[in-house]
Amino acid sequence: MKKVVILAPLDPVHDIGLKMIGRGLNQAGHETFLLPPDLTPDEIVEMVFSKGKVDILLVSRTLGYGVGEILARFIDLADAAGLRTNTRIGIGGMAIRPELAAELGFDAGFGPGTTVEEVVCFVEGREYHPDPFRSKKDKTDMTANYDYQYHHGAIGEKLGRISEMILDWVKNKTSPGVKRAKLRDELWDVERWRKRQGNGDLYNHYPQLCSEIPQKYYTTGELHPKTRRFTIEEVRGLEKYLEETKARMSVLKLQHTRKKATGL
Ligand code: B12
C-alpha cells in the first residue's frame, strides 16, 4: 500500500542521503516530501502535522555539536506532540547506528551504507533480508601492517628526548588564559550569575588577566568597538518569540493529551 513519507534532514546541510532514499521510495510507489535542511526540531514537527496523515518520518543527521541532545529533544517533542500515534520515525546518516537510534527512542536506525531496499522494507513494514549475493565492500585496514616501533631506533630515541624536554619546559609554566580558566573555576558561581546576583570576587581579579579591550569592558563597562548592547526592542522581540514558542508547544501538548485520552 502506498505510504506517505516525509524526509527531514535534521542537519545544517547534508541531504544527499535522504534525496537518494526519497528517489528509491518514489520508484517503489510511495509519496515523499523532502523538507529543507537546517530546520529546528519544532519546525519539523509542525511541518509534519501540516501535511495531514503521514505514515513515516525519516530523519537524517551527521555528527556535530550537541547531536545527542538535539536528537533526544526531537524525539521528546515528537512524543509530546502526539506525532507518533500515527507516524513511525526512522533516523539515519553518518552519525547513526541502530543501537544509538534504539537508545534514543526512534523506531529504527540506519547507518552509513544503508541500501534503499532496507528503507523500503522499513516503510512497508516488511522484514529486510539482505541479498546474500550482493558484494560487500571490503575496506582495507590501512593500519594493518603498522606498529608503534620506529624503523630507526635512534630517531625514536631522539623524539622521546624532545618530548621529555618539552614536558619539562612547560612543567611550571602558565599563561593568562590558563589563569583566567582557573579563576573562573574557583570564583565563578554560575547559579549566582543566572540569578543576576553578580559575580562575587571574580571581577576583582579577572580583568587584570585580560587584554586591553576586555579589561576596559570589565572595569568601565565600555564595549568592544565592533559590538553593541541589544536594544530594548530586540530584547522584547526575543521575549515575544519565546512566549509564542512556549504557547505553541503547550497547544501541541494539549492536542497530544486529548488524543491520548479520546483515542481520536
Ligand atoms: C557532500 C558532503 C557535504 C556537502 C553537503 C551537500 C548536501 N546537500 O548534502 C557540504 C559541502 C555542504 C558539506 C558541509 C559540511 N560537512 Co559534509 N560531507 C559531505 C560528504 C563528502 C558526503 C556526504 C554524502 O552526501 N554522502 C552520500 C550519501 C548518499 O551518503 P550518506 O549521507 O552517508 O547517506 C547514506 C547513509 O548514511 C544513509 N542515510 C543517511 N541519512 C539517512 C536517513 C535515513 C532516514 C535513512 C534510513 C538512511 C540515511 O543512507 C544513505 C545511503 O546509504 C561527507 C563525507 C563522506 N564521504 O561521507 C561529509 C561529511 C558528512 N561532512 C561532515 C562535516 C563535518 C561537514 C561540515 C560540518 C564541515 C565544516 N566543518 O564546515 C559542513 C557542514 C557545515 C554546517 N553548516 O554545518 C562530516 C560529518 C561527520 C560525521 N561523521 O557525521 C563528514 C562525514 C566528513 C568527515 N569525515 O568529517 N558536506
Question: One digit per residue, pLDDT tens: the chain, 264 residues?
Answer: 899 999 999 999 999 999 999 999 999 999 999 999 999 999 999 999 999 899 999 999 998 888 888 999 899 999 999 999 999 999 999 889 888 898 889 999 999 989 999 999 999 999 988 876 665 566 777 778 777 778 888 998 999 999 999 999 988 899 898 899 899 889 888 888 878 888 888 888 999 999 998 899 989 999 988 889 889 999 999 999 989 988 988 888 888 788 778 876
- 141 assigned to some structural domain: no
Predicted local confidence at residue 141, as pLDDT = 77
Phi-psi sector, 57: left (phi>0), alpha (psi -120 to 50), beta: beta
**Statement to judge: residues 11 and 100 lie in one domain:** yes
**Statement to judge: residues 10 and 116 lie in one domain:** yes
Instruction: Give the whole-angstrom CA distance, residue 15 versus residue 201.
Output: 49
**pTM listed for this prediction:** 0.65
- 129 assigned to some structural domain: no
Element (H, E) at 162: helix 153-170
**Closest Cα to atom 49 of ligand 1:** 92
- Measure CA 2 to chain center: 32
According to DSSP, the β-strands at 4-9 and 56-60 are parallel
Predicted local confidence at residue 235, as pLDDT = 92
Q: Which atom of ligand 1 is nearest to the CA of 59?
A: 45
**Closest Cα to atom 5 of ligand 1:** 14
**Statement to judge: residues 38 and 64 lie in one domain:** yes
Ligand 1 centre to CA of 36 (Å) is 15
| Phi, psi at 116, each rounded to 5° | -60, -40
Q: Which atom of ligand 1 is nearest to the CA of 122?
A: 47
109: domain CATH number is 3.40.50.280
**Statement to judge: residues 108 and 158 lie in one domain:** no
Q: Which atom of ligand 1 is nearest to the CA of 119?
A: 47
- 237 assigned to some structural domain: yes
Predicted local confidence at residue 58, as pLDDT = 98
- 131 assigned to some structural domain: no
Predicted local confidence at residue 133, as pLDDT = 66
In the chain the beta strands, taken as DSSP E runs, fall at: 4-9, 31-34, 56-60, 88-92, 108-110
CB 87 within 8 A of CB 48: yes
Instruction: Give the whole-angstrom CA distance, residue 21 versus residue 3.
Output: 14
Grid-cell match 505514515, residue found: 55
Instruction: Give the whole-angstrom CA distance, residue 61 versus residue 76.
Output: 17
**Statement to judge: residues 256 and 207 lie in one domain:** no
**Statement to judge: residues 17 and 118 lie in one domain:** yes
Domain count, the chain: 3
Q: Which atom of ligand 1 is nearest to the CA of 113?
A: 53
Question: Does residue 6 have its Cβ closer than 6 Å to ligand 1?
Answer: no
Instruction: Give the whole-angstrom CA distance, residue 148 versus residue 157.
Output: 13
**Statement to judge: residues 48 and 94 lie in one domain:** yes
- 138 assigned to some structural domain: no
Predicted local confidence at residue 123, as pLDDT = 97
| Phi, psi at 3, each rounded to 5° | -110, 150
**Statement to judge: residues 118 and 34 lie in one domain:** yes
C-alpha cell belonging to residue 114 = 544503508
- The burial class, CB within 10 Å (0-12 / 13-18 / 19+), for 91 is buried
Predicted local confidence at residue 168, as pLDDT = 94
Ligand 1 centre to CA of 262 (Å) is 42
Predicted local confidence at residue 142, as pLDDT = 78
Residue 253 sits in which domain range?
230-264
**Closest Cα to atom 57 of ligand 1:** 94
Predicted local confidence at residue 26, as pLDDT = 96
- 144 assigned to some structural domain: no
Strand order in the sheet with 31-34: 31-34, 4-9, 56-60, 88-92, 108-110
